[in-house]
Amino acid sequence: MRSLVSASIALAFVAGVTACSKQPAAPVDPMAPAYVEVQNQAFYDMTIYVVRSGQRIRLGQVSGNSTATFELPRTVVNPGLPIRFQADPIGGNKTPFSQEIGVSPGDTVVLRIPPS
């Protein structure tokens, strides 16, 4: 069973991160992919990055008021090595970051970008 991790980004500051699980954890394949679902409620299109230890990896672009899902690179999927997400607004001047979270194989992280 996949677990669900939730994170929020605000355009001016870092928002909280909460985690929830639907059912008790079942054995997960260590090679199972992990995903980030980006819910962009803002007007601006966003370029989404994952950041770990100062390394920034581009995941893709999400149009304003839309949702997109990206597979996370296996190199950043490790619950012992926290990552954070960066949403770079196209045509904007603020680049917010999420708080650091650990992501395990099989997880789906939900990143919500609130309206600006």
Identify the pLDDT of residue 8. Answer: 53
In 11-45 the beta strands, taken as DSSP E runs, fall at: 14-20, 35-40
What architecture is the 4-19+32-113 domain classified under in CATH?
A: Sandwich (2.60)
Looking at residue 29, its pLDDT comes to 85
| Residues 6+ positions from 64 with CB-CB distance below 8 Å | 40, 42, 43, 44, 45, 46
- Give the pLDDT of residue 1: 43
Spans of all domains in the chain:
4-19+32-113
Q: What is the pLDDT of residue 77?
A: 94
**Which residues, including other chains, have CB under 8 Å from residue 51's CB and lie 6 or more apart?**
57, 83, 84, 85, 86, 97
pLDDT of residue 56: 95
How far apart CA 25 and CA 84 sit, in angstroms, is 23
- The pTM of this model reads 0.78
Q: List the chain pLDDT tens, one digit each, 116 residues.
A: 445 555 555 433 333 333 333 444 567 788 899 999 999 999 999 999 999 988 999 999 999 999 999 999 999 999 889 999 999 999 888 878 899 999 999 999 999 999 87
